[in-house]
Structures are given as structure tokens and as C-alpha cells.
Amino acid sequence: MNVVVKSALQVAAFSAWWWLVDALVRALGWNAPSSIIALGLFFLLLLLGLRLEWVSGGVRFLLGDMTLFFIPPAVAIALHSELLLEQGLKIMVIVLLGNLLVMWVYGRLVGWLIERQSRGREPRT
């Protein structure tokens, strides 16, 4: 079978899988994102014997073309370029400081956990 057709069928199967899990989550009245449930169930299927090569083409396509999923935000930025011109520096500073804060907190937490574990006390989960 042609690689493009095979990948397209795998992407269609992923879409159908998400749709089925979404219908199940709604029918059961669960208050959880169906995409997370679908991903967890898919992982379970992989553990139970679903062969990776049966889905690898679709996975490669979806991950390889992930940038297409970010086109709407890029269009919004292009449509509201005046906001970027007026507030761009503030936005960049806030994003940079936010990232630095997250990295600092994460680094401190990991350091604390390593230190605690090296002293023989296991961290609580």
C-alpha cells in the first residue's frame, strides 16, 4: 500500500478513535478531557500488543506537520500586528520572565528531591 494512503488511513483511524472515546466520555458523564482518556487507552493498547508499525506513519505525519496546528495563532498575530507593535516588548519580557521562573522553580525542586533522596529519605508522592 502507498505510504501516503497508509498514513492517511492511520490519521483517519486516530480521528475515529478520538471521536469514539469522546462519545464514550460524554455518554458516561465523565468530567475529564476525552483526548487524555483516548491517549491513555491508546497507550494501554500499545502495552497489550498493538504494533507500533501499524500506527507509525500516521504518528510521523501528525508530529511532522505539527506546525500546521499553530497556524491560527500565527494568523491572529498577523491580524493584530498593532498590538504586537504597541505591547510586543512587554509581552516578550513577560514570556521570558515566566519561562525563567518556571525553570528556576523546577531546578530548585529537582535539586531538593535529589538531596532528600541522597539522605535516604524517599520523597512522598
Please give the Cα distance from 63 to 11 (Å, whole number).
11
> Angle at the Cα of 123 (from 118 to 125), degrees rounded to 5?
155
Measure the CA–CA gap between 34 and 21, rounded to whole angstroms. 6
Pick from 14-18, 24-28, 77-81 the range whose average pLDDT is largest.
24-28
| Amino acid letter, 28 | L
| C-alpha dist (Å) from residue 46 to 11, 52, 53, 82, 91 | 16, 7, 11, 48, 41
What pLDDT is attached to residue 23? 94
What confidence tens digit (pLDDT) does each residue in 41-100 have? 888 988 888 887 888 888 888 877 777 766 777 777 778 888 878 888 888 899 899 989
List Cα–Cα distances, 82 to 65, 78, 95, 110, in angstroms: 29, 9, 19, 41
pTM of the model: 0.49
Position 125 confidence tier, pLDDT thresholds 50, 70, 90: low
Q: What's the pLDDT tens digit per position in 28-38?
A: 998 888 888 88
Q: So what's the pLDDT on residue 86?
A: 86
